[in-house]
Amino acid sequence: MSDNSRQMTQEEAEEFAEQVFNVARSGDAAMLAALVTKGLPVNLRNHKGDTLLMLASYHGHVDAVKVLLEHKADPELRNDNGQSPIAGAAFKGDLAVVKALVSGGAQVEGASFDGRTALMMAAMFNRGEIVDYLISQGADPRAKDANGVTALDAARTMGAVDTAAQLEKLLNA
């Protein structure tokens, strides 16, 4: 009896990895669960440092996010640009994903390398529900990034009228 098992070539391994990252991008929660159960590293990163959780979060796949978190994906791993899954979800405006990440251990105040928080991202892009939720979970509306910019400053700069008004009201209360 011969053993037909062989090592993947580098090219085959890279192709397989890209397929796995596409599974996360497309939000196939069942396939992700099967892969990590079979031994796929749950915190696998692509060439940009994005984890499976980052990709599922950014693309708005709450079920995939929950599966990855159940398998102990680290919600605090940043990509090569210093972005976190919660900041990506806040940028995209996906409240369900933001809530799943917080439930799964993501730090509400977790900042990127430049000090920008998920609250700042939500404020910049006029994501009022996410601003409310993050503040209800302890996000500091007075926090400043590396340039001294607050969530309110970011909202004003980006012309996010609704979140600017929302933060002004909160800060002046």
What's the whole-model pTM score?
0.90
Could you tell me which residues come within 8 angstroms of residue 94 by beta carbon, excluding any fewer than 6 positions away?
57, 60, 62
Which tokens is 68 given? Answer: 């990855």
Separation CA 48–CA 56 (nearest Å): 15
Residue with tokens 């500091």: 140
Which residues of the chain are modeled with pLDDT < 70? 1-4
**Sign of the dihedral defined by the CA atoms of residues 107, 109, 110, 116, in that order:** positive
* Residue owning tokens 């601003």: 131
